[in-house]
Structure 1
Amino acid sequence: MADLHRVLVLAGGLSPEHEVSVRSGLRVAESLRRLDVEVQTADVDAALLGRLAADPPQAVFPVLHGAPGEDGVIREVLEISGVPYVGARPDACRAAFSKPIAKSLVAAEGVPVPRGVTLPKAAFRDLGARELVDRIAAALGLPLFVKPDQGGSAFGAAPAATAEELSNALVSSFAYGDTAMVEERIDGTEIAVGVVDTGDGPVALPPVEIVPDGGVYDYSARYTAGRTEFFAPARLDGAAAGAAMDAALTAHRALGLRDLSRTDMIVEPSGRVVFLEANVAPGMTETSLFPMALQAAGMDFGITCRELAHRALLRG
C-alpha cells in the first residue's frame, strides 16, 4: 500500500469566499504537518498547471469554496492533469453547486425540500419587478427566504417577511449571481450534517445545531467567533437525529458525492427534516461545522484529513 508523504492543499480562489478558503486551507495544512506529512499550499492561478506538471504531489486536497472550487472546474483540471484529489468528481460538483438541481435530485429520493421558485434577473426586468414580486409572495406566502442559485457562505442570502423585504432581498441576491431562489421560510432547528468516507463507505456524522445570535446564519454569524452558538451533537431527540443523518446520506448518494460533504437542513418541531443544500467542500475553519461534527463523533481532524488524502492517493 502506498504511503502518503506529500500533499498539495489548494486554497484561496477568486470567489467572495476567498478569505474563508484561505483559513480553511491553513487549518488543513497545519493539521497534516503535525502528522509528519509534507504539505505545500497553492492558490488557483496561472502557475498552478506548471506546478502540477513539474512537481506533481501525491494528492491534492482542494479547500476552495465557491466557484471554481465547488462547481467542478478545478476538479476537471486535476482530472486532465492526472493528479489524484480529495472530494467529489466534476459532474457531482456541478450537480451540488446548482442549488435548484441539487434540490430536485434530493427531492426525487423522498427527502422533503422547501416549496419555491427559481428565476433569473431578466425575468424581473422583462415582466415587471413589482408585479412578479407580488405574484411570488401570493403564491408561496410570507415569510420567504432568498438566496443565489449558486455559491455559499450565505453571500446574497436574506429572509423576507414583507413584499418590500422580498424586493430588497432579490436585489442583494442578484449582486452575487444572475439567478435567485425564493423559498418558503422553514421554521425549526437549523442543523448541518457532515458525511465522511475514509474507505468503508459514507458515514453520517452527528448533526450540529446552529443558533445565531441575530436569528439568521449569515456570513458574519458563520465566521465571527461568538456570534453563533453551536451544539454538537444537536439537541434533537433520537428519531429526529437519525432522520437527519439518513437525509444527509441520501443527499450524498443522490448527488454522487465522494469522500466528504456537508448537508444543511431544518428540523421542524414535528421532527420532519427539510433539505436546504449540500456542500462538496465544507469549511474547515475554527468556527466551521464539519470539524465540529468530526469532534462530536470522536474523530481526530488531522487524522481524518490524512485518511482522505491517502484514499485519494490510492485511487490515483
Structure 2
Amino acid sequence: MKHVAVLMGGWSAEREVSINSGLACTEALKKSGYRVTPVDAGRNIAQTLAEIRPDVCFNALHGRYGEDGYIQGVLEIMGIPYTHSGVLASALAMDKPVAKTLFKAAGIPVADGRVFTRREIQDGARYDKPYVVKPLNEGSSVGVTIILDGENMSLQDLPWSFGEKVLVETFIPGREIQVAVMGDGALGAVEIRPLGRFYDYEAKYTDGKAEHLMPAPLDPEDYEEALRLALLAHRTLGCRGVSRSDLRFDDTGEGRGKFYMLETNTQPGMTSLSLVPEIAGHCGISFEELVCWIVEDASCDR
C-alpha cells in the first residue's frame, strides 16, 4: 500500500485554501485505498517527512514556499517523489514577469505591463488607466486590484503589503476563461462570470459568488484556441501533472476575439469550488480518479 503524505497549510496568504484542498485530497486518497498522512507543513517540514517516511508527497500547498520551487527543492534533496510541477517550472510560473516573458517568446499573447518598485511609485509613477496591479508572486488573486477609467485612484493610493515590487498590466476587457491541462493534453475550458468586478479571492472560494459555464460557451475555433494556448503555456514552462491556465478573451470589439494569457497555475486548487475538478468531472473523470492520477504521476526532476 503506497504511503502518501498530503502537504497542506503552510504559512502563505493562501493557507486556508491549501488546507481545504489538502483535506479533500486526503479523503479521496483514503477512499481509494492509499495509506495517507496529512501534514500541516511548517518550517520543519524536512524533519517531519524524515520521521514519517512517505513513498510520495501530494503537494496541496498554495502560494509562496508551496508552489514556487521551494518545497519542490526540499523534496528533490530528500529524494521523495512529489506531485505537480518540478523546481524550475514552479519557480518560473510563480514569477509573473518571468512567465510573461516566456509566454511572449513562445507566441502566447499577454497583456502589456511593467514592474514598478516601491520607490518609483512613491516618486509619483503613473500608468494609463484602466490597469491591474498584482504582486509578483502570489496566487488566488491575493493582492490584485483593478483600477478602471474614471476612478479617482492612483498607484499611490493602493495598500502595499507584498514586497518591494508590483506588476502593473493594462486591463483586458472581456471574458474569464480557464483551461485545465492534465499530462499531455488539455481537458477543457470553463468560463467564469463573477458577480463582482473580477474573479477575486472571495469569488474563487465562496459559493454563489461566481457562475461557472462548463464547457465555456465559445465558438468551436475559439474553444480549441484556448486549449491550444493553455497546453503551449504548460509546455513552455516545463510543467508536469496538472495545471490550470487563466485567460482573458477580449471579444468587446469588432471581428474575432483575442485571447490573452494571464498566468498558469502549477498547483491549481482542489476544493469543492475548484475549476480543475469541475473540468475533469465534465470529461468523465471523478474527483477520486483525478487525485489518484496525480499521485501516480508524481516524480522527482532528477
Fold agreement, TM-score > 0.5: yes
Partner SS for 1:207: strand
Q: In 1, Cα distance between the equivalents of 2:59 and 2:119?
A: 34
Q: Which moved more, 1:95-104 or 1:55-64?
A: 55-64
Structure 2 residues not aligned, in runs of 5+: none
1:310 is matched with 296
Considering fraction of residues, name the structure with more helix.
1
Q: Which amino acid aligns with 1:181?
A: L
TM-score by length of 2: 0.93
What is the aligned residue count? 297
- The alpha-carbon deviation at position 165 of structure 1 amounts to 2.4
1:239 is matched with 221
- The alpha-carbon deviation at position 315 of structure 1 amounts to 8.3
Q: In 2, Cα distance between the equivalents of 1:155 and 1:234?
A: 25
Q: Which amino acid aligns with 1:67?
A: R
Counterpart pick for 2:241 among 250, 259, 267: 259
Inter-CA distance 276–183: structure 2 relative to 1 (3 Å threshold) = same
Q: Which moved more, 1:17-26 or 1:264-273?
A: 264-273
1:87 is matched with 84
The answer to whether the Cα contact below 8 Å between 1:192 and 1:262 also exists between their aligned partners in 2 is yes
Counterpart pick for 1:291 among 273, 277, 288: 277
Partner SS for 2:97: helix
The answer to whether the Cα contact below 8 Å between 2:190 and 2:214 also exists between their aligned partners in 1 is yes
Q: Which amino acid aligns with 1:288?
A: S
Deviations 1:247-299 (A, max 9, x none): 00010011111111111001121231110011111011111111111112211
Q: In 1, Cα distance between the equivalents of 2:130 and 2:246?
A: 20
Within-5 A mapping of 1:92-111:
92-111=89-108
- The alpha-carbon deviation at position 6 of structure 1 amounts to 1.5
Percent of residue pairs bearing the same amino acid type? 37
Deviations 1:204-240 (A, max 9, x none): 1211111011131111111110011101111111111
1:5 is matched with 2
Deviations 1:113-158 (A, max 9, x none): 0011111212223xx12xx12xx22xxxx21111111101111101
Matched, 1:76 2:73: yes
Q: In 2, Cα distance between the equivalents of 1:276 and 1:305?
A: 26
Inter-CA distance 46–159: structure 2 relative to 1 (3 Å threshold) = closer
1:196 is matched with 182
Matched, 1:280 2:253: no
- The alpha-carbon deviation at position 33 of structure 1 amounts to 1.1
RMSD: 1.7
Deviations 1:181-218 (A, max 9, x none): 11111111101111111xxxx11121111101113111
1:165 is matched with 153
Q: In 1, Cα distance between the equivalents of 2:31 and 2:197?
A: 37
Structure 1 residues not aligned, in runs of 5+: none
Q: Which amino acid aligns with 1:187?
A: P
Q: Runs in 1 of length 4+ with deviation above 6 angstroms?
A: none
TM-score by length of 1: 0.89
Counterpart pick for 1:25 among 22, 27, 30: 22
The answer to whether the Cα contact below 8 Å between 2:80 and 2:300 also exists between their aligned partners in 1 is no
The answer to whether the Cα contact below 8 Å between 1:6 and 1:57 also exists between their aligned partners in 2 is yes
Partner SS for 1:194: strand
Q: In 1, Cα distance between the equivalents of 2:294 and 2:29?
A: 11
- The alpha-carbon deviation at position 179 of structure 1 amounts to 1.4
